[in-house]
Amino acid sequence: MTSVPALRAPIERNAVHLCIDMQRLLTPDGPWPTPWMEAALQHAVRLVEPRPAQTVFTRFVPPRTPEEMPGVWRRYFDKWRSVTREFIDPSLLELVPPLVSFVPPAAVVDKGRYSAFVASPLQSVLQERGATTLVISGAETDICVLATVLNGIDLGYRIVVAADAVCSSVDPTHDALMTLYGQRFAEQIELADTETILGNWSKG
């Protein structure tokens, strides 16, 4: 288990909690099951509760058909045609039930790529809130969380990954990414558990 270091500084009052793809699509009963989402979800809920208006949920929304996607995405959705909107139960794209009650005031941003910043309005939503720090939770550690974190770094955001509020369907790559976040990206990513984040998030 990767050790979780302390935060370098308090989290700014206007930070945004960005909760990635906590959808029925990824629950153990969904087509892309993430078996221990429930454990991470409990911590994500704790991050939402004190500041729902400072939370942005993302939802991964597949195309209607593979032909709507460019390049290698078309091949990807040829393989996963069952999750395209032509076939999938639309309810599987919704947030998991514990999070639905927070919207509004929490916002929802739909995306069609791994990164929440690509082909989505997320950057505008964050700029409207004056956010310079993102507290990250969600799924999956080694796919959509990874892509979003790296784009966030490139855009200059302070990135705080809630280590107990992210999850993956593959334990070895989750563990590898937690090591990557905490070591190779130590100057640009801070890892902290939910308790530490809540205790160091400025009030007011």
pLDDT > 70? residue 82: yes
Distance, CA of 139 to CA of 96 (rounded, Å): 12
> What pLDDT is stored for residue 5 in this prediction?
55
- Mean pLDDT along residues 56-81: 97
For the stretch 150-185, pLDDT in tens is 999 999 999 999 999 999 999 999 999 999 998 999
> What pLDDT is stored for residue 158 in this prediction?
97
DSSP, collapsed to helix, strand or coil, labels residue 155 as coil
> What pLDDT is stored for residue 204 in this prediction?
54
For residue 32, give every residue at least 6 positions away whose Cβ sits within 8 Å of its Cβ, in sequence order, or none.
Answer: 25, 26, 83, 169
For the stretch 96-151, pLDDT in tens is 999 999 999 999 999 999 999 999 999 999 999 999 999 999 999 999 999 999 99
- Mean pLDDT along residues 77-98: 96
| 1 band by pLDDT with thresholds 50, 70 and 90 | very low
Q: Domains in the chain, please, with CATH?
A: 16-61+92-199 (3.40.50.850)
The runs of H, that is alpha helices, within 49-184 are: 71-79, 97-100, 122-128, 144-154, 171-179
Supply φ then ψ for residue 202, to 5 degrees: -60, 140
| 2 band by pLDDT with thresholds 50, 70 and 90 | very low
Distance, CA of 173 to CA of 170 (rounded, Å): 6
**In terms of pTM, does the model score above 0.85?**
yes
Distances, alpha carbon 18 to alpha carbons 55, 81, 158, in Å = 6, 28, 12
Number of C-beta neighbours around residue 16 at 10 A: 24
- List, in sequence order, every residue forming a beta bridge with 23; answer none if it has no partner: 95
Q: Which two tokens stand for residue 150?
A: 């790296």
